[in-house]
Structure 1
């Protein structure tokens, strides 16, 4: 079961499932909230507890922020390098036919790929990586995550159940 799909960089695709993440202070309140959701008809297939003694962050797809940044940097860099090579090849053949085409293409590809890799790393680290970092921070401090995944209606009903349940009894 892949609950935290949006941590894997699929936020641009239209998701068929929705995700809600609830941060809980300890194991007892996480398990109590899990049982409450199960009691209200939410299947265990749509629930996951992440924390010590339960699912690991990697198992549900919560990648490390640096891993996300490197993945984004690599994908942006390769895409931009290929685009830069193609565009510079076309430009040097059409606009500058007398120039050394191979050198222009090589330099443009390296420069565009390097700049895009830096931008991709920043986007990965400051975008999805910062979200993953927040949840990993909670886990590192002994808190637990309760993940609810499924159709929009199911996720909203799970949020309502936990919202109607007294927050003081969860903590």
Structure 2
């Protein structure tokens, strides 16, 4: 499926562009307006980067916390450190495992969450920011021919941004 996303500054331009697409005979079930009074980003299915970051953090924690526990306990056994004399030998290895698990949890939070927000959102975050600023998005999905025809029509309205995407 191919997508074309145009960002226009106000509702009047969004409606005018929608009408122009309609006049050219494009299938209107493939054209969507996002913005105040129309569909929201969530209703359309635009990815929320914070939600994706939380999902990525949980996925990474599933692997990193147990691996960190095993690595911490193994490190404690191999080095023979007696860091916590009050805990005894077995207690030291268990505490080493807990510290390793905590390190795994921190890794999943900082790498999964931070990287998820910084790199995982693609263009979704800028589009959400533009919607929050009161701008409107026109999204056309369909064949490459439909997207090219829509692009030609939408260029007449001098959009702030006009970008096409191809999804396999």
How does the TM-score come out when normalised to structure 2? Answer: 0.66
Relative to structure 1, is the Cα distance of residues 137 and 116 closer, same or farther in structure 2, using a 3 angstrom cutoff? same
For residue 71 of structure 2, what is the aligned residue in structure 1?
Answer: 88
Which segment drifts farther, 134-143 or 160-169?
160-169
Does the 8 Å contact 1:69/1:120 carry over to 2? yes
Gaps (5+ residues) in structure 2? 81-88, 160-168
Structure number, greater radius of gyration: 2
Matches of 1:18 and 1:50, distance apart in 2: 17
SS in 2 for 1:62: coil
For residue 135 of structure 1, what is the aligned residue in structure 2?
Answer: 127
For residue 5 of structure 1, what is the aligned residue in structure 2?
Answer: none
Q: Give the counterpart of 2:35 among 35, 47, 51.
A: 51
Matches of 2:48 and 2:112, distance apart in 1: 16
- The CA RMSD measured in Å over matched residues stands at 3.3
Q: Higher relative contact order by CA 8 Å / sep ≥ 6: 1 or 2? A: 2
Q: CA deviation at 1:122?
A: 1.4
SS in 1 for 2:15: helix
Q: CA deviation at 1:126?
A: 0.8
Q: Does 1:165 align with 2:153?
A: yes
Relative to structure 1, is the Cα distance of residues 148 and 64 closer, same or farther in structure 2, using a 3 angstrom cutoff? same
**Residue deviations 1:45-90, cap 9 Å, x none?**
x3321101100111122354434433333332333213334x538x
Q: How many corresponding residue pairs?
A: 147
